[in-house]
């Protein structure tokens, strides 16, 4: 199984939907504060969540061996708990 694309919405500094295609070689570059680290954190968060998955639905695991992103309020855009990730 391979992941070909991830979509992030209301994740950290990104409010709008962002589709990020992933290929065998993916370069992440851009100016400072453009969200590069958010992509890497999202991938780490996805990995540690999927490695702990034992059924459906799969709960998000924000603290683990690959990422420690705190709680939902820390992750969601604008710290607005009414938004969905």
Q: Tell me, what's the pLDDT at 80?
A: 93
Across residues 47-62, what is the average pLDDT? 89
**Stated pTM of the model:** 0.82
Instruction: Please say whether the beta carbons of 7 and 17 come within 8 A.
Output: yes
Across residues 53-74, what is the average pLDDT? 90
Cα separation, 69 vs 18, whole angstroms: 19
CA distances to 44, 47, 60, 74 from 63, in Å: 10, 12, 9, 12
């Amino acid at each position: 199984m391979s992941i070909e694309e991830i979509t992030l919405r209301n994740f950290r500094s990104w409010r709008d939907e962002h589709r990020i295609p992933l290929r065998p070689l993916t370069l992440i570059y851009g100016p400072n504060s453009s969200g590069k680290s958010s992509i890497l954190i999202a991938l780490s968060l996805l990995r540690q969540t999927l490695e702990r998955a034992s059924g459906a639905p799969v709960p998000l695991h924000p603290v683990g061996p690959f990422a420690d992103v705190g709680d939902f309020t820390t992750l969601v855009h604008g710290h607005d708990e009414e938004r969905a990730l």
